[in-house]
Structure 1
């Protein structure tokens, strides 16, 4: 009987001892500033900027998640993503906006342009005619950088990305940069609907 009581006491006391022995480990894993700093440095942000960003962020893990999502899923550098994520009220919405536009529109356009170019080269090789090279206007801002800027400027980034994706899928307006401009300006005041109010 005594052996059963000893065994029962040992089984009940052991889990309690673990909570007293390792409280600091559990606490450290839940520290949002620690998580933020780890994620930012892993994304390629220099330590000093990562420390400053995490220390000043209202919700540090949202800041680091924003930077991580953008730098992982686009070709935007982590330090640029940090600047944008730091300046918005909704960093998670910002990262979703940029990633959604990049995945659904910009990468889809790149794939279709690549397949069109490949088919054009094949056809011209078969017909032995020199390929026609289409030139596009060079702009100082790339489409993905514009996506980051417009998502940052938007009051409702998720709505903005839905707007851009929807407008870019229509055959008449297959230009994503034009769609970004249209969606952002419509948030301010839809001047195309009310031309008499244009200044």
Structure 2
């Protein structure tokens, strides 16, 4: 019995420092999280203001964003490659559920093809459910078929899955 009591005491002595260290570390992580989130919003607002968005508009957009860094990156990237207004790019990035993919779509089309109407590219990328796949389609179709950018965008945005012969084969027809 004496051996049992000493082993319990020894285990308790090891558990107390471990619990103290864990408790202190957890509180530091919890306290530093709001600062990291606040920095995301600050970074978003300052990048949007630097891109030419008015201060109140930038603050409102970043305040409403779930991922403010993605919103700012999307807006700055779209402005960098396309000839669109900063407000237009901001509205497009705000309304898209995948802002990083929207920026990738716009930049891929602009880098791969000669684009005459950047607004149409931005609107089509925003309308697409899968923007990166859409940009691959536009660049591939325009290059292979020697189509204009507008024609290839209209072909790719209209593309869809059209099932044929969807009737089940296990049901006998009468």
Q: Note the C-alpha offset of 1:73.
A: 1.7
Deviation string 1:6-25 (CA, Å, 9 cap, x unpaired) is xxxxxxxxxxxxxxxxx99x
Question: Could you list the runs of 4 or more consecutive aligned residues of structure 1 that deviate by over 3 angstroms after TM superposition?
Answer: 27-30
Q: Note the C-alpha offset of 1:106.
A: 2.0
Mapping 1:8-19, distance limit 5 Å: none
User: Which residue, 144, 149, 153 being the options, matches 2:127?
Assistant: 153
Q: Secondary structure at the match of 1:106?
A: coil
User: Which residue, 25, 34, 47 being the options, matches 1:39?
Assistant: 47
Larger relative contact order (CA 8 Å, sep ≥ 6): 1
Q: Secondary structure at the match of 2:106?
A: helix
User: Which residue, 113, 117, 127 being the options, matches 1:143?
Assistant: 117
User: Partners of 1:86 and 1:56 in 2: how far apart?
Assistant: 9
Q: Note the C-alpha offset of 1:30.
A: 6.9
Q: Compute the TM-score of the two structures, normalised by the length of structure 1.
A: 0.61
User: Partners of 2:117 and 2:63 in 1: how far apart?
Assistant: 31
Deviation string 1:66-122 (CA, Å, 9 cap, x unpaired) is 000011122112111000000010000001100110111125xxxxxxxxxxxxxxx
User: Partners of 2:93 and 2:83 in 1: how far apart?
Assistant: 16
Count how many residue pairs are aligned between Structure 1 and Structure 2: 132
Q: Secondary structure at the match of 1:76?
A: coil
User: Partners of 1:75 and 1:29 in 2: how far apart?
Assistant: 31
- 1:106 and 1:143 in contact (8 A); partners too: no
User: Which residue, 64, 77, 84 being the options, matches 1:69?
Assistant: 77
Deviation string 1:42-71 (CA, Å, 9 cap, x unpaired) is 000111110110000010000000000011
Q: Hey, what does 1:115 align to over in structure 2?
A: none
Unaligned runs of 5+ in 2: 1-30, 165-174
Q: Secondary structure at the match of 2:113?
A: helix
Q: Hey, what does 2:137 align to over in structure 1?
A: 163
- 1:37 and 1:50 in contact (8 A); partners too: yes
Q: Hey, what does 2:149 align to over in structure 1?
A: 176
User: RMSD over aligned Cα, in angstroms?
Assistant: 2.3
